[in-house]
């Protein structure tokens, strides 16, 4: 099939066009409410967590990936840096009562997300009352609030901001919250050139850091985690215009063997490669 007639064009997303498309598709009087003209990292529940014009897509893609990986409603799920519930709004509604755990240091953004998605403050929301999620607000990657292992973890756009020290702490805490069959997804921005692979410590926000697969795989191995790169880039754009692609990486304690549910979506996992 020639490139032109192919239904799927394997190119990076085109954020500028996506932004224009969103501005055109959404009536002008909703632009401010949706933060559509703001840059990623601005103090708005949709912009704080990334480019606001793809807020819906990035949340939906994360949820879709969890479904493809076999998430069921009875599973216990940890959302690391849950922000304004970009993913959480889908996961919370899907999971049975008491199965969702979210850690987010920015209380205001989280509460604004609850209000935006569920129509009331945390204390008054009927959805929150019915689903009984557990939230905590630490910055230490302390996941002890889950009181026992969880089945799935998603850390979207966290390791794209963590230096070496915090990436190790993140991976150590993730490993500590997993049982033998748990699946964790961690996104990071992949670079090919080892000279661009971050070597500094700290938290970089809204700036980003990049890692080679081999460096990320090595850090995961330090915490006895298998790491598998997927073929799911989640494209992003920084305020300076640089397009970055976050690559969800599957982390497991035992060798990853797709379950029955996961095998139904096996085609999506063609090209998954172990990186450590
Ligand atoms: C780029 S946003 C991604 C949010 C969310 N995962 C999503 O995909 O919508 C990163 C989030 O991590 C939060 N964060 C910052 N430091 C953190 C830490 N030490 N532990 C957990 N979350 C943190 C930020 O407040 C922000 O909401």
Q: Which CATH number do you get for residue 236?
A: 3.40.50.150
Query: Is the distance from the beta carbon of residue 139 to the nearest atom of ligand 1 less than 6 Å?
Result: yes
Query: Is the distance from the beta carbon of residue 81 to the nearest atom of ligand 1 less than 6 Å?
Result: yes
Q: What is the average pLDDT value for the chain, to the nearest integer?
A: 88
Tally of CB atoms within 10 A around 60: 15
Decide if 3 is inside a domain.
no
Q: What is the pLDDT of residues 248-270, one digit of tens each?
A: 899 999 998 777 666 666 556 66
Distance 135 CA to ligand 1 centre (A): 13
Q: With 90 as the cut, is the pLDDT of residue 3 above it?
A: no
Decide if 10 is inside a domain.
no
The answer to whether residues 186 and 152 touch, using CB atoms and an 8 Å cutoff, is no
Q: pTM for this one?
A: 0.92
Decide if 266 is inside a domain.
yes
Distance 81 CA to ligand 1 centre (A): 3
Distance 103 CA to ligand 1 centre (A): 8
The answer to whether residues 186 and 204 touch, using CB atoms and an 8 Å cutoff, is no
Instruction: State how many domains the chain has.
Output: 1
The answer to whether residues 255 and 216 touch, using CB atoms and an 8 Å cutoff, is no
Decide if 215 is inside a domain.
yes
Ligand 1 pocket test, pick from 58, 103, 105, 206 with the greatest ligand atom count within 8 Å of Cβ, gives: 105
Decide if 21 is inside a domain.
yes
Decide if 201 is inside a domain.
yes
> What's the domain range around 145?
15-274
Decide if 208 is inside a domain.
yes
Q: What is the pLDDT of residues 92-121, one digit of tens each?
A: 999 999 999 999 999 999 999 999 999 999
How long is the chain?
A: 276
Decide if 118 is inside a domain.
yes
Q: With 50 as the cut, is the pLDDT of residue 191 above it?
A: yes
């Amino acid at each position: 099939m020639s490139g032109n007639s192919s239904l799927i064009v394997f190119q990076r997303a085109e954020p500028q066009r996506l932004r224009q498309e969103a501005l055109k598709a959404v009536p002008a009087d909703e632009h401010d409410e949706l933060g559509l003209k703001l840059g990623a990292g601005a103090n708005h529940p949709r912009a704080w967590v990334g480019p606001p014009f793809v807020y819906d897509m990035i949340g939906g893609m994360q949820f879709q990936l969890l479904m493809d990986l076999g998430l069921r409603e009875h599973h216990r799920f940890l959302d690391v840096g849950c922000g304004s519930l970009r993913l959480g709004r889908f996961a919370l509604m899907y999971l049975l009562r008491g199965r969702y755990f979210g850690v987010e240091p920015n209380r205001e953004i989280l509460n604004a997300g609850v209000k935006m998605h569920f129509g009331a403050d945390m204390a008054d929301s009927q959805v929150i009352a019915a689903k009984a999620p557990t939230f905590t607000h630490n910055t230490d990657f302390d996941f002890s609030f889950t009181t026992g292992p969880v089945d799935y973890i998603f850390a979207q756009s966290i390791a794209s901001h963590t230096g070496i020290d915090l990436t190790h702490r993140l991976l150590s805490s993730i490993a500590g919250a997993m049982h033998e069959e748990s699946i964790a997804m961690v996104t990071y921005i992949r670079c090919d050139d080892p000279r661009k692979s971050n070597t500094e410590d700290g938290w970089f926000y809204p700036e980003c850091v990049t890692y080679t697969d081999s460096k990320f795989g090595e850090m995961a191995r330090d915490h006895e985690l298998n790491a598998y790169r997927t073929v799911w880039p989640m494209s992003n754009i920084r305020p300076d215009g640089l397009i970055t692609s976050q690559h969800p990486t599957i982390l497991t304690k035992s060798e990853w063997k797709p379950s029955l549910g996961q095998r139904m979506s096996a085609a999506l996992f063609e090209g998954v490669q172990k990186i450590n």
